[in-house]
Amino acid sequence: MRRYWLLMLAITFSCVAGAASVKPAVEGARNARYKFTPNTVVDLAKRTAAAAYVPRRLEGNSALQQLSYDQYRDIRFKPEMALWRNEQVPFRVELLPAGFLFQTPVKVSAVESGMASDLTGTPNMFVLGPHVAKQLANHTLPLSGFRVRTLLNSRSVWDEFMVFQGASYFRAVPRGGQYGLSARGLAIRTAHPAGEEFPAFTQFWIERPGANSSGIVVHALLDSPSTTGAYRFSIQPGTETVMDVDVTLFPRVDLDNIGLAPLTSMFLFDESERTRIDDFRDEVHDSDGLQVVTASGERLWRPLRNPTELQTSAFTAEAPRAFGLVQRSRRISDYRDFEAKYELRPSAWIEPTSDWGKGSVDLIEIPTENETNDNVVAFFRPHYTVPAGKPWHISYRMRWNNTPRITPSLGRATATRTGPTIDGKRRIFVIDFAGAGRNIEDLKLDVGASAGKLSHPMLQQNPLTKGVRASFELDPAGSNLVELRLRLLRANRPITETWLYRWTAS
């Protein structure tokens, strides 16, 4: 089995809950109960922001701090010990230990009838394999997060569909999906010369759902040197797993470089350029493009790249209607990888539900040589400063699905290919579109470039996809960077989304 894990992201283990008659150990591992109201986390975030930041690190058992990848995987939560395992509740919560990459301990609490109690990772909750049995036997384990299961894909198997673990990272899947890209609570100074700051969720409160609930509510406290935050996630799994996210930040300092609703993914290569790639597969990525619906309604599609140097791009001048990192290649033949199953990785789609103000959707692409590293980040960056000392509120809806639902439908780019002309002086670009019909009569190719010279624009029917193929040639004319833009028009109206691409001389 390929070891597929992503730095600073949630790591999960597959274990299916079976029938058991024992009472969950989680039930016997709760601490004293205390009152919990809708304002509890907001009030705590406000009080925390008024005090100096105190970093949290693992203490005590040195073996836990120094766990290797294999050792960490050898600690397995017992499914029969899950929270609400023997109750009429449509969700089950399993606790995740600290250690390995997860060096920030967190508290996980259960909320029932307006009262909360903190959970403890008691020794009998976990199976300790031979790699860690001697070091950790009979130890209470600090926690790094939790995962949630429900009857997502069948009526007999409790599938994991969501995990919160590692700084402010979390992941989810829709029905039939498999973990891929991740989200974060907040990004601070990403790709900034001063260095990135990683806010962390330090405590979670999970509300006990009713017997007939279709969703579950999670609250989280975020803390970092620059800000604290109170988060509320209302989550409903299904054909698409939908999260309504409500955020109140209490900045300790002026926040002038933050990313809202940040998404983190991996892109190694696809069909567009293979000059640096020696691999048996045709594509390797968790996401293959950034999709944006601007405030004016224009639909943008920017294929992802694995650059040779870090690249930052910005789109829009005000909050979009929606944006996300999307996985469009959905056939197993797109990858020919029977283990990683990239065709099942979800897309993540962000819809602001409050006024985010002026700002840009930023895309950061980082060079990588392997698929174990996340190298793509996308978020909304406000073009204003969030002042210190005052609460600041936003909200948004996040959809984990196969394909974002956008109406009315327009043709979409399904593949981007590029290569040199015979004389090597120009670049040929070929873009395939689906959903725009096959008839190329009366179609206009609207294409532009920020630099260089374009030539030989052409439209063709694509017999393989029963769609339309657009192509052109680019002469960079000495430029090291060219931004390209293309869409198809009929009667001067767009019938496809706008394809964007950044060409660089490197």
Indicate if 397 and 421 belong to the same structural domain.
Answer: no
Q: Which residues contact 109 (CB under 8 A, 6 or more apart)?
A: 36, 116, 117, 118, 119, 203, 204, 205, 206
Point out the domain boundary residue: 364, 379, 401. Answer: 401
Indicate if 397 and 418 belong to the same structural domain.
Answer: no
Q: Do the beta carbons of residue 419 and residue 467 sit within 8 Å?
A: no
Indicate if 81 and 135 belong to the same structural domain.
Answer: yes
Point out the domain boundary residue: 346, 380, 401. Answer: 401
pLDDT of residue 87: 95
Burial 346-365 (b: 16+ CB within 10 A, else e): bbbbbbbeeebeebbbbbbb
pLDDT of residue 408: 86
pLDDT of residue 277: 85
Indicate if 397 and 436 belong to the same structural domain.
Answer: no
CATH number, position 487: 2.60.40.10
Indicate if 470 and 340 belong to the same structural domain.
Answer: no
**Distances, alpha carbon 500 to alpha carbons 299, 393, 409, 411, in Å:** 10, 32, 19, 14
Indicate if 237 and 216 belong to the same structural domain.
Answer: yes
Indicate if 151 and 214 belong to the same structural domain.
Answer: yes
pLDDT of residue 27: 54
Task: Give pLDDT < 50 ranges for the chain.
Answer: 1-25
Indicate if 56 and 197 belong to the same structural domain.
Answer: yes
Rounded Cα distance, 158 and 222, in Å? 29
Rounded Cα distance, 287 and 397, in Å? 19
CATH number, position 250: 2.70.98.10
E strands in 66-152: 75-77, 92-97, 107-112, 115-119, 126-128, 143-150
Point out the domain boundary residue: 372, 401, 430. Answer: 401
Indicate if 397 and 426 belong to the same structural domain.
Answer: no
Residue type, 188: I
Indicate if 347 and 417 belong to the same structural domain.
Answer: no
pTM above 0.85, yes or no: yes
What's the number of domains the chain is made of? Answer: 2
Instruction: Report if residue 388 sits inside a domain.
Output: no
Indicate if 341 and 449 belong to the same structural domain.
Answer: no
Rounded Cα distance, 98 and 72, in Å? 9
Rounded Cα distance, 361 and 378, in Å? 7
Rounded Cα distance, 472 and 419, in Å? 11
Rounded Cα distance, 247 and 233, in Å? 9
Find the radius of gyration of the CA atoms of the chain.
24
pLDDT of residue 57: 87
Per DSSP, what are the bridge partners of residue 429? 418, 472
The two structure tokens encoding residue 205: 């409160």
Q: Do the beta carbons of residue 125 and residue 137 sit within 8 Å?
A: no
Q: How far apart are the first and last CA of the chain?
A: 35
Indicate if 127 and 172 belong to the same structural domain.
Answer: yes
Instruction: Report if residue 384 sits inside a domain.
Output: no
Q: With helix as H, strand as E and coil as C, how does 335-356 read? A: HCCCCCCHHHCCEEEEEECCCC
Instruction: Report if residue 286 sits inside a domain.
Output: no
pLDDT of residue 26: 62
DSSP-derived letter for residue 82 is -
Instruction: Report if residue 273 sits inside a domain.
Output: no
Q: Which domain holds residue 459?
A: 412-504
Instruction: Report if residue 302 sits inside a domain.
Output: no
Instruction: Report if residue 41 sits inside a domain.
Output: yes
Instruction: Report if residue 300 sits inside a domain.
Output: no
